[in-house]
Amino acid sequence: MKTQERSFSDDERAMADLAEVSDWRRVWGPPGTGVDAIRALVSRVSAATGWLPWAPGNIDPARYTWGLVTPRETVMLVLPDAVLPESPRSGWSAYEIEPSELSDAEEGLDTNWPTQLELGRSLVARARELGERSQFEGSWDPADPSLRFGLYAPGDSVAAASCSTRA
């Protein structure tokens, strides 16, 4: 098993860049696949944000765009239906893990990412509970405040402020 530890500064810059887009609905478009869908999404995001088209190496971004570059020099990768920061390895990570090393990798996660693991467990538990209420118990109530978007708790996100539930 190999491990690495990287600065969180890339993630912090990316989150600041994403937070400056006050309304992603302005850039959302019809679903699509392939190069044309990516080109269309790049055009909409670039027009709304001023972010510049980007492609790796000697590829002409005017012809084949794979992403965008923000004023903070964050590279945002573009998929047909998403824009994601290209900062996947901040903090501690393990890779090239052999089956016999799984317990070492789990220990590394427990040691280096306890808060994130607990947050992930909490999100999964909330989603499971809501799913059980809607699919099995029949106790789903659209006006229930626990249905609001939120990473740490219902209603703690910008999306929650722009969405409303209807009774």
What is the full per-residue pLDDT of the chain (167 aa) written as tens digits? 998 887 778 888 888 888 888 888 878 877 777 778 888 888 888 988 999 988 777 777 666 667 889 998 888 888 777 788 876 567 888 889 999 999 999 999 899 888 888 888 888 888 888 888 888 888 878 888 877 766 667 666 554 444 444 33
In Å, how far from its chain's centre is CA 140?
27
Please enumerate in sequence order all residues whose Cβ is within 8 A of that of 13, keeping only pairs 6 or more positions apart, or say none: 70, 72, 73, 74, 87
Question: Tokens 């609905």 correspond to what residue?
Answer: 25
Residue pair 42/78 in contact (Cβ under 8 Å)? The answer is: yes
Which helix (H) or strand (E) segment holds residue 41: the answer is helix 34-49
Identify the pLDDT of residue 39.
82
Identify the pLDDT of residue 164.
44
Six token digits for residue 100: 């016999």
